[in-house]
Structure 1
Amino acid sequence: MKQELSRRSFLVGAGVLGAGLAVSMAGCAPQAAGSKGASSQATTASTTDGPAFLAAPEPITDVKETLEGDVVVVGLGLAGVCATRAAAEAGLKVVALERCPEPSARSGQFAVFNSDRARQMGIEDLDTAELVNEMMVQTGHRADFRILKTWADNCGEAFDWYTGAYDGLLWQMPDGEKYDADSQVFIRASNVFEPYRFGVDHERVFSGTMSFSAPERGGHKPVMLANFEKAQATGNVDARFNARARQLVKDGERVAGVIFEDVTTGEHMQVNAKKGVVLATGGYVRNDELLAYYIPWIYNMKDRYAFTYAHMDVNGDFTDQGDGMLMGHWAGGHIEEGPHCAMAHGDLGKLGVDAFLQLNALGERYINEDLTNDHFGSAIVRQPDATIYQIFDANFPEQVKHMQSSLGAVTSVSPEIAATVDEWTSAQGSTIDELIENLDVDAAVAATMKTEIERYNELCEKGLDEDFGKTPERMFALNTPPFYAIRYEVDGGPSTENSNALRCLVTMSGLSTNKHAQVLDENLHVLPGLYAVGNTQGGRFLGDYPTTIAGASHSMAMTYGYLTGKFIAEQG
């Protein structure tokens, strides 16, 4: 019989294991029906107090062996590796559990500022309160200012520590030697944007991003593995791979350990933690039940997205199932209130999200086109047939220079790209009528398109966008042939074919924590002994992932892993 619990109350399941510790939850996170496939459907059953996955499963009692440590880190992605290294370097005995056969990494952009290295790379210092206040606006003030500010105040220090683990790492200075990503591991400053101009730029963005490059599109993985090796070199780390955490163990009100399963044998082992358990299992983007419940606007349109970064265990099962968030909840932790956040975005190919005229499948202009990456994605999937047309004329190579620089924007076009425009556009025409005819839309849509283009040209001539308020600097009349259109239909598809699909990378909401990453209970008081970092940690992003500063997700995972390992050691 499963015990059931509401979002506001937790009924502890009992069992006695190991050194007299009470088991407060057990069992695995519920698997979404057909969760391996992109078209699987959620089958969440309701209990009297909510969906079935909120109910604590029965305790696990068949524990083969018990280990002892100061800290247990659950998950060896970026946040978990940083927490492991920081705790081990502080002298703590760390047992690190990872469901995959090796540590997992993705991509390579990190928001970094206010450090000597950042300044050397041409990144100007930021006012962290100013940055965080804008991020609070972008998240509807649902995020925790203190969590964001702690990250912003410490990310430079954490990045210097993180990159210091890799001997021979190259730094590509703005005016220095250019390195080869096919043979060298290096860092460069990226997404360096022009200063925000109030009343001109539609969205406020900040510069302060560094990007890793490595052979085989390795991103920051070589550096992350160097950090893990640095942790192991302390002699304080016992790393267990193919190890899926299944439950947390409590001693009274304190979280005091973890029971994990060897996914190759099915056997269970327990690890007792004297000082704390750090949940760093990532998000739940591959768990259909959680996705349908917490982010239905993604789940209900998931066939429109390419789900990328498919980390799997040796059994071929996706690992980003929300294990840490669920285990923390079953132990008494609070899953933050929504709207939960997913990193879901895309672009328009060669011209990115540049603010050229956009018409939807009905031929209607539908938005101020001056958007950043994630907000563009949110808008397009809400249009008829999830289809839009980006329309421009022969002057586009010069016009892109006037676009707001931001994540996903294009502010320069090479002569080679300009010369091949017929290859990467959907239709061309020597007149507007010919362009519309070549788009092969029905008569009603064609008539609407022509009316909307005439209206747009009229507004451009006025120098005032009376309809959507786009800045005059980006109102370019369609006057100079030939004319071009990119038809962009969001239709999902494999992650290797993203030109016509938005990407859904990860979920980014989880357990409520304070600024020290300590998990909070249902009354938002500290749940002793439990921490959450990376995409298991709440309080960071709600609603849409804001591109206020590129690379914030990686940077927070790194910084909070680093700070949390140190914090646990400092508690004595």
Structure 2
Amino acid sequence: MSSRRSFLKLSASVAAGGLTAMPAFAACNDTTSWDEEVDVIVIGSGFAGLSAAYNAHKNGLGKVLVLEKMQVIGGNSAINGGWFAVPKNPIQLAQGIHDDSPAELVKDQIISGRGMANVEALTQIAEHALDAYHQCIDTGVEFREGFNIQVGGHNKARAIRTKHGVGGDITTKLYEAGVKMGIEYRLQNYVEQFVMDGQEIQGLVVRHGYRFPDQKTGSLRRIKARKGVVLASGGFTRNMELRAAVDPSLDPTLDGTNHKGATGEVMLEAMAHGALPVHLNMIQTGHWGSPDEGGFGWSNALLSIGWHQGISVSVLSGKRYMDERADRLTCSTAIMKNRYQDGSPAYPIVFFNHAPYAKDERVTRALRDKMAWKVDSLEGIAKQFNLPLAELKNTVARYNKHVEARQDPDFGRKMDTAEVLTGPFVVSRIWPKVHYCMGGLKTDLDGRVVDGRTMKPIRKMYAAGEVTGGVHGHARLSSTSCLECLVNGIIVGKTLVADA
């Protein structure tokens, strides 16, 4: 077991920082000697970890310790777009939308999952959506007034958004609430090993004072968790070696939206102790990525206009090539078919009318950072992006007729928000980015990690968020990550109480 664990940790470490060696350490199964003891340890400080810690403390579980290996709180959650799917949210109801429900959301997710979604898990998450929303409100999170829209793959407008359009609006408030409650948060604490007693986790060996990605930094501490350890460490999209191993078909040149520390070593350590991995090859790309900015960027926000009020056109043909409002997997697949003869990307463009959004921060920010451009005419678009002008004009003329008819016979797009394109335009280029791992550790509905050797829970080991797998199937819908992570934190908080 020790050699297997060391190999897995080496794989993650090499991918994370280009290291050539790992510091030697012995297998840690000594459950009698500890440097300190707490009641609950939460690994990771994103939506799931912060929610789990908040609920564990709120439910009276004693001393709660959150460990974060990076130098800041929040993980990927802090840099995401702040979208949050909530059926029957107050803004939705104020808009007069009364026919939505948790079941309607699950129906959309089942379609997106393409036969691989966990319906029971999705149902439980959807039914707790309002609980997660009110948890945000109770901790001081602000959402955009009157903002609730229909995003890709959803059949209803149910996506609200944080005030500043970033997940940090939520992670900051959950962290501040936790500090007031007495939860302890420690940055730069890397989990070296789990300390196990058979099928029960006892605690952790932690590298305190770790400086990513140097495995030689910091000092080792043994921390006992009397009531449980919650794995909320996120996905592994930045572990390039592991990513290539589980999905060789994924274009290795694709940029990613995740922070550099999303390398999955906590998941691998759990697997070394028997935790069952599921759907690891289902790695999602975000179809709203821009080749003109690094990381998550602003393109996601800009295209919340582009997908709804504009169109996407191939630079090769000057034609539309997809339903711009389809789910992520459908759109990403269609986008990445746009390639030159040598296989290099032929970045498609998305454009919409500038005038109605001239003062919108999504537009002003994108133009400022030069990941989008204001172009006066179709002739200007054709010249700047090397498109066939005649075909582009035909495409826009045809599209405008579809807008007026409120029907899209070409791709079946829902046209309720589409606008007749007249110019001047806001134009941006798109190319998918690796975004989210649908695969991870198998848990039961209460968040207990399942041992693949016995198909029973590993005692006192729980997981929430992107480190888990088998929930969404082949594709996760936009705005459901925040929902899942926050809800699973609530669920794990209840499970810890029940098990304790």
Query: TM-score higher than 0.5 here?
Result: yes
Q: Is the 8 A contact 2:2 2:27 kept in 1?
A: no
* In 2: Cα distance, 1:289 partner to 1:451 partner: 42
Counterpart of 2:201 (choices 243, 255, 279) is: 255
Residue number in structure 1 paired with 2:446: 516
Q: Is the 8 A contact 1:343 1:508 kept in 2?
A: no
* In 1: Cα distance, 2:357 partner to 2:398 partner: 30
Residue number in structure 2 paired with 1:428: 377
* 69 and 208 in structure 1: CA distance in 2 versus 1, 3 angstrom threshold: same
* 477 and 81 in structure 1: CA distance in 2 versus 1, 3 angstrom threshold: closer
| 1:85 Cα deviation after fit | 2.0
Secondary structure at 1:273 match in 2 = strand
Q: Map of 1:30-429 to 2, 5 A cutoff?
A: 30-31=11-12, 33=14, 35=16, 59-60=27-28, 65-93=34-62, 94-104=64-74, 105-107=78-80, 108-114=82-88, 124=98, 126-166=100-140, 187-193=144-150, 203-213=153-163, 218-232=168-182, 237-264=183-210, 266-302=218-254, 305=255, 307-308=256-257, 310=259, 318-342=260-284, 344-346=286-288, 352-354=306-308, 358-363=312-317, 365=319, 367-372=321-326, 374=328, 375-384=330-339, 385-390=344-349, 413-414=356-357, 424-425=373-374, 428=377
Q: Is the 8 A contact 1:75 1:282 kept in 2?
A: yes
Amino acid at match of 2:188: N
* 380 and 319 in structure 1: CA distance in 2 versus 1, 3 angstrom threshold: same
CA RMSD of aligned residues (A): 4.4
1:61-91 Cα deviation digits (max 9, x unpaired): 8999432233221122221122112112222
- Give 1 or 2: higher helix fraction: 2
The percentage of counterpart residues that share the same residue type is 21
* 138 and 60 in structure 1: CA distance in 2 versus 1, 3 angstrom threshold: same
TM-score, reference length from structure 2: 0.75
Q: Is the 8 A contact 2:39 2:61 kept in 1?
A: yes
* In 2: Cα distance, 1:477 partner to 1:297 partner: 38
* In 1: Cα distance, 2:123 partner to 2:35 partner: 39
| 1:537 Cα deviation after fit | 1.5
TM-score, reference length from structure 1: 0.66
Q: Is the 8 A contact 1:106 1:219 kept in 2?
A: no
Question: Based on CA coordinates, which of the two structures has the bigger radius of gyration?
Answer: 1
| 1:484 Cα deviation after fit | 7.0
Gapped runs of 5+ residues in structure 2? Answer: 211-216, 289-298
Secondary structure at 1:99 match in 2 = coil
Aligned residues: 456
Residue number in structure 2 paired with 1:18: none
Q: Is the 8 A contact 1:276 1:529 kept in 2?
A: yes
1:158-208 Cα deviation digits (max 9, x unpaired): 331343133xx6xxxxxxxxxxxxxxx6553533349xxxxxxx9543323
1:310-355 Cα deviation digits (max 9, x unpaired): 3xxxxxxx32211221121111111112442335231595751247
| 1:267 Cα deviation after fit | 2.0
Larger deviation, residues 369-378 vs 237-246? 369-378
* In 1: Cα distance, 2:58 partner to 2:85 partner: 24
Residue number in structure 1 paired with 2:469: 538
Q: Is the 8 A contact 2:316 2:346 kept in 1?
A: no
* In 2: Cα distance, 1:460 partner to 1:211 partner: 29
